[in-house]
Amino acid sequence: MVPEYEILTPDTVPAYIEKTPRLDGIVDTSTLEVSEVGDGNLNLVFVCKDGNGDGICLKQSLPYVRLVGEGWPLTPERVIAEARGLAAAVDHVPDLVPAYYALDEDNYVLAMENLIGWDMWRIQLNEGNSHPGVGAKLGRYVANLAFYTSLFAVDQQEIKQRLAQAVNPELCKITEDLVFTEPYIDVPNNSYVDELIPEVEGMRADARLRAEVGMLKYKFMTAGEALIHGDLHTGSVMVRHGEGGGECKVIDPEFCYYGPVGFDLGALFGNYMAARARAAVLDRPVDYQQWLADLGPETWDAFEAEMRRLWPDRLDKTWTDSFLDAWLAHVSQDTIGFGGCKANRRIIGLAKVTDIQELPHDDHVKAATTVLRTASTWIRDRADLKTVAEANKVFDEVSAEVMG
Amino acid sequence: MVPEYEILTPDTVPAYIEKTPRLDGIVDTSTLEVSEVGDGNLNLVFVCKDGNGDGICLKQSLPYVRLVGEGWPLTPERVIAEARGLAAAVDHVPDLVPAYYALDEDNYVLAMENLIGWDMWRIQLNEGNSHPGVGAKLGRYVANLAFYTSLFAVDQQEIKQRLAQAVNPELCKITEDLVFTEPYIDVPNNSYVDELIPEVEGMRADARLRAEVGMLKYKFMTAGEALIHGDLHTGSVMVRHGEGGGECKVIDPEFCYYGPVGFDLGALFGNYMAARARAAVLDRPVDYQQWLADLGPETWDAFEAEMRRLWPDRLDKTWTDSFLDAWLAHVSQDTIGFGGCKANRRIIGLAKVTDIQELPHDDHVKAATTVLRTASTWIRDRADLKTVAEANKVFDEVSAEVMG
């Protein structure tokens, strides 16, 4: 498949920047160094830095999934979805996302701030580094999107149009397949070490688990609550140390669409679980493990606090304070359920996480087993897990059992 | 507000039929008798019958709500939504809807079968007449729409487009306001006899009830499950006696949009409740009251049986049989909750029902009190009401208490 638009290369990027009016003056193209750093899953990503230290980042969609090659076509329109998600965040949490420079809809190029000096959070977590306060910032990110793009802040007539414009069926299908479907059936995309076979077979034979995963998939496909990020794992978060503690920027919202608020929180929770399992088998310092264990509650508490702070500004005052309590309980249950689905897929299905995958074999088996059992309990029993703290307890119990 | 299209009158209808190609030959316009029978809420409805006994029905949208006059503008596009809902039903349950002849999008006229010899079900219920089997047919109607317009039968890419096309924000807003908002606050649209003031004030002071009504409103506004009818009360059902028992045709799907499946069933349940309360205070024959009491279970059982019959044809086989059980439990809870909301609004808010409204004063108070208390319990405690039979029991207990 040959794209019908100009595919950028490191060599052509300077000329592209020069001819794009909205990018004029952001960098000095005569001294620009360009490298392509897309981590391989979907897109081309050009990181550019000039002699003055100024930067720009260009992200270009290809008409297929890069990870698996041209055999899996995928609309390049996804960069338009990403721009939509970025723009929404720029409006409400500008400190938590890159600056947004331009969208070129003809060539499917999104231009944004180059995050020089920032690192991918997953890699930092893998190395045992903590960035205090990042969990709370992510809770604030989710809350602001949840509030300002939803019925709470958008007129009822307007939001139906926004929901219609923001449909993102091809990207949603990837999530539907990889998160909710494939891990629970036998397909070539799956892979796992032999020691996990009994775990995986047990999950597939568990009718109740399958039904609950199905209900979460159904909710993912039908609940148009807010413009959610759609892929908010720890690889979609860039971090650095700032004066007041850890800082973060959320990137890659190309899966964004009107979906359930708990899905973004669940993505974080599922990935926190993987980070915890890794730290446990590697016997990281107790303080670090405790910091990881607290990430979930920290994220949730910040989400809840921000929702309560914004709540007086809601459009519909007949949604009472008691409604907010009920709504938060509903999001909490979704978060725990989606968190379980996000964790399981990272062990069994396509697109694994380095947290667990790159461990020594025996550690990998223990960590993966811990994640699968915890995640499946979260999914199955989420109605009984009233708080994030209770969900954390499941991890503690399972890891004690598996890791001894 | 003067519409910019031709507003039909009984005098102009024959010429309109003659000049509309798709209506050619359905009736003999030279002998046509035309009467306007719109029951007042929203539209012009022309019932036409010729000398041979053939008929046609024309429904024309006005650019405002007829019930309250030109002060409440409302898109005439609603007739296009109605045609969409009718067409979907014609495809899958043609025996349960009028034949669909033509849609004139320029003049907002929908032409369909004239249901000569059919009566509005609500009026028949008010008079104490039973039409055995109609409840089951309505369950089959809801199941077929729920299956064939949803993810169960429509491709994932396609359904996102359909959902986007079928947004119906102005009509949805009427439901949001009249069903979920106004009955629980003090607005001029509400009215009720003095004896009900303590009931209504008690509902408004009940934080838990308000929160649960809010959650049901939120679900109505965010859950895009299937193309639902959207206004399936007993005034939207025409009935007659056939050879095999009661027959029915569902009309008026102009509120249709992608919403929660339980909303249509809930609309029926809320109206069955009103019919039961009326029959109880009027001391109708025991058999008749029992037939009314069985309508809810009859409708649900037929809905469930039809879903199970269609289930093997679902597109996504990873939605297992256990998922279907979980999904039915979810729809059951929605049904009971929405049923409560639909019942309350008919007592307190704009657009009452004759079942309760036209009773002698003391009977009215008893019936209305029974409905409000039963409905509020349904809303508040729906998570504990596992079956329709349990919901029915609440009515029995409340009516015994209120009516002695």
Q: Quick one: closest CA in B to A226, which residue?
A: B222
- Of the pLDDT bands very low, low, confident and very high (cuts 50, 70, 90), residue A74 is confident
What is the C-alpha to C-alpha distance for residues B61 and B78, in angstroms, rounded to an integer?
7
C-alpha distance from A162 to closest chain B C-alpha (Å): 9
Say how many CB pairs under 8 Å bridge A and B: 115
Please report residues of B whose CB lies closer than 8 A to that of A212. Answer: 326
**Which pLDDT score is estimated for B74?**
84
Secondary structure letter of residue A150 according to DSSP: S
Supply φ then ψ for residue A49, to 5 degrees.
-140, 135
**Which pLDDT score is estimated for A365?**
97
Please answer yes or no on whether B170 and A161 come within 8 Å at the CB atom. no
Please report residues of B whose CB lies closer than 8 A to that of A176. Answer: 156
Please report residues of A whose CB lies closer than 8 A to that of B147. Answer: none
Contact A78, A254 (CB under 8 A): yes
Please answer yes or no on whether B161 and A176 come within 8 Å at the CB atom. no
Angle at B69 between CA B66 and CA B70, to 5 degrees: 110
Q: Is B41 exposed, middle or buried (0-12, 13-18, 19+ CB in 10 A)?
A: middle
CA nearest neighbour of B43 among B17, B67, B22: B67
Please answer yes or no on whether B160 and A176 come within 8 Å at the CB atom. no
Please answer yes or no on whether A222 and B223 come within 8 Å at the CB atom. yes
Please answer yes or no on whether B215 and A184 come within 8 Å at the CB atom. no
Please answer yes or no on whether A173 and B157 come within 8 Å at the CB atom. yes
Average pLDDT estimate for A346-356: 92
C-alpha distance from B128 to closest chain A C-alpha (Å): 38
Instruction: Please name the member of A169, A218, A323 whose beta carbon is closest to the beta carbon of B214.
Output: A323
Interface test with A, best of B173, B187, B319, B379 (most A CBs within 10 A): B319
Global pTM? 0.96
Average pLDDT estimate for B29-58: 90
Instruction: Please name the member of A184, A207, A326 whose beta carbon is closest to the beta carbon of B215.
Output: A326
C-alpha distance from B76 to closest chain A C-alpha (Å): 16
- Of the pLDDT bands very low, low, confident and very high (cuts 50, 70, 90), residue B42 is confident
C-alpha distance from A223 to closest chain B C-alpha (Å): 5
Average pLDDT estimate for A326-336: 98
Angle between helices A388-403 and A286-310 (to 10 degrees): 160
Please answer yes or no on whether B151 and A211 come within 8 Å at the CB atom. no
Its sign, for the CA torsion B255, B260, B265, B269, is negative
Q: The complex's ipTM?
A: 0.95
Q: Quick one: closest CA in A to B213, which residue?
A: A323
Taking only the tens place, the pLDDT of each residue in B244-258 is 899 999 999 999 999
Instruction: Please name the member of B157, B161, B322 whose beta carbon is closest to the beta carbon of A210.
Output: B322
Taking only the tens place, the pLDDT of each residue in B329-356 is 999 999 999 999 999 999 999 889 999 9
Please report residues of A whose CB lies closer than 8 A to that of B185. Answer: 318
Token pair, residue B210, equals 């308000």
Instruction: Please name the member of B156, B212, B215 whose beta carbon is closest to the beta carbon of A176.
Output: B156
CA nearest neighbour of A346 among A336, A357, A335, A337: A357
**Ramachandran region of residue B196, left (φ > 0), alpha (ψ -120 to 50) or beta?**
alpha
What is the C-alpha to C-alpha distance for residues A291 and B22, in angstroms, rounded to an integer?
71
Please answer yes or no on whether B172 and A160 come within 8 Å at the CB atom. yes
C-alpha distance from A376 to closest chain B C-alpha (Å): 16
**Which pLDDT score is estimated for A32?**
95
C-alpha distance from A36 to closest chain B C-alpha (Å): 32
Sheet holding B237-242, edge to edge: B119-120, B237-242, B245-250
**Which pLDDT score is estimated for A333?**
97
**Which pLDDT score is estimated for B217?**
98
**Which pLDDT score is estimated for B65?**
73
Please report residues of B whose CB lies closer than 8 A to that of A164. Answer: 163-165, 167
Please answer yes or no on whether B214 and A326 come within 8 Å at the CB atom. yes
Q: Cα A291 from chain centroid?
A: 20
Please report residues of B whose CB lies closer than 8 A to that of A217. Answer: 319
DSSP-H helix ranges across B311-387? 321-348, 354-357, 361-380
Does the structure show a pLDDT above 60 at A1? no
**Which pLDDT score is estimated for A68?**
67
Instruction: Please name the member of A207, A222, A225 whose beta carbon is closest to the beta carbon of B322.
Output: A207
Local structure of B290: helix, strand or coil: helix
Does the structure show a pLDDT above 90 at B127? yes
C-alpha distance from A359 to closest chain B C-alpha (Å): 32
Token pair, residue B195, equals 């004896």
Does the structure show a pLDDT above 60 at B118? yes
Computed over every residue of chain B, the mean pLDDT equals: 95
Please answer yes or no on whether B326 and A212 come within 8 Å at the CB atom. yes
Interface test with B, best of A204, A263, A319 (most B CBs within 10 A): A319
DSSP-assigned states of every residue in B161-194: HHHHHT--HHHHHHHIIIIIIGGGS--TT----G
The residue to which tokens 């491709």 are assigned: B155
Kindly list the distances between the CA atom of residue B238 and the CA atoms of B118, B128, B252, B339, B399, in Å, as whole numbers in the listed order.
Answer: 6, 15, 10, 20, 28
- Of the pLDDT bands very low, low, confident and very high (cuts 50, 70, 90), residue A92 is very high
Please answer yes or no on whether B214 and A164 come within 8 Å at the CB atom. no
C-alpha distance from B49 to closest chain A C-alpha (Å): 40
Angle between helices B321-348 and A207-222 (to 10 degrees): 50
**Which pLDDT score is estimated for B40?**
62
C-alpha distance from A346 to closest chain B C-alpha (Å): 19
Please answer yes or no on whether A156 and B172 come within 8 Å at the CB atom. yes
Please answer yes or no on whether B218 and A151 come within 8 Å at the CB atom. yes
The residue to which tokens 């730290």 are assigned: A279
Please answer yes or no on whether A214 and B156 come within 8 Å at the CB atom. no
- Of the pLDDT bands very low, low, confident and very high (cuts 50, 70, 90), residue B63 is confident
Please report residues of A whose CB lies closer than 8 A to that of B327. Answer: 214-215, 218
Q: Bigger pLDDT: B268 or A403?
A: B268
Instruction: Please name the member of B211, B214, B327 whose beta carbon is closest to the beta carbon of A215.
Output: B327
Token pair, residue A45, equals 């990503």
Amino acid at A375: A
**Which pLDDT score is estimated for B68?**
67
**Which pLDDT score is estimated for A197?**
97
C-alpha distance from A220 to closest chain B C-alpha (Å): 10
What is the C-alpha to C-alpha distance for residues A261 and A277, in angstroms, rounded to an integer?
25
Please answer yes or no on whether A327 and B218 come within 8 Å at the CB atom. yes
Secondary structure letter of residue A40 according to DSSP: S
Average pLDDT estimate for A366-392: 96
**Which pLDDT score is estimated for A98?**
98
Number of H helices, E strands in chain A: 14, 12
Interface test with A, best of B177, B181, B213, B221 (most A CBs within 10 A): B221
Sheet holding B109-112, edge to edge: B33-36, B43-49, B55-61, B109-112, B100-104
Please answer yes or no on whether A172 and B160 come within 8 Å at the CB atom. yes
Q: Quick one: closest CA in A to B212, which residue?
A: A323
Q: Bigger pLDDT: B299 or B164?
A: B299
- Of the pLDDT bands very low, low, confident and very high (cuts 50, 70, 90), residue B36 is very high
C-alpha distance from B148 to closest chain A C-alpha (Å): 15
**Which pLDDT score is estimated for A65?**
73
Other C-beta atoms within 10 Å of B174: how many?
21
Interface test with A, best of B187, B315, B318, B321 (most A CBs within 10 A): B318
Angle at B340 between CA B338 and CA B343, to 5 degrees: 110
Token pair, residue A182, equals 């494939």
Taking only the tens place, the pLDDT of each residue in B358-404 is 999 999 999 999 999 999 999 999 999 989 999 999 999 999 999 87
Angle at A64 between CA A59 and CA A68, to 5 degrees: 105
Torsion of CA A116, A122, A124, A128, to 10 degrees: 180
Please answer yes or no on whether B322 and A211 come within 8 Å at the CB atom. yes
**Which pLDDT score is estimated for A351?**
85
**Which pLDDT score is estimated for B1?**
53
C-alpha distance from B185 to closest chain A C-alpha (Å): 8
Contact B180, B341 (CB under 8 A): yes
- Of the pLDDT bands very low, low, confident and very high (cuts 50, 70, 90), residue A256 is very high
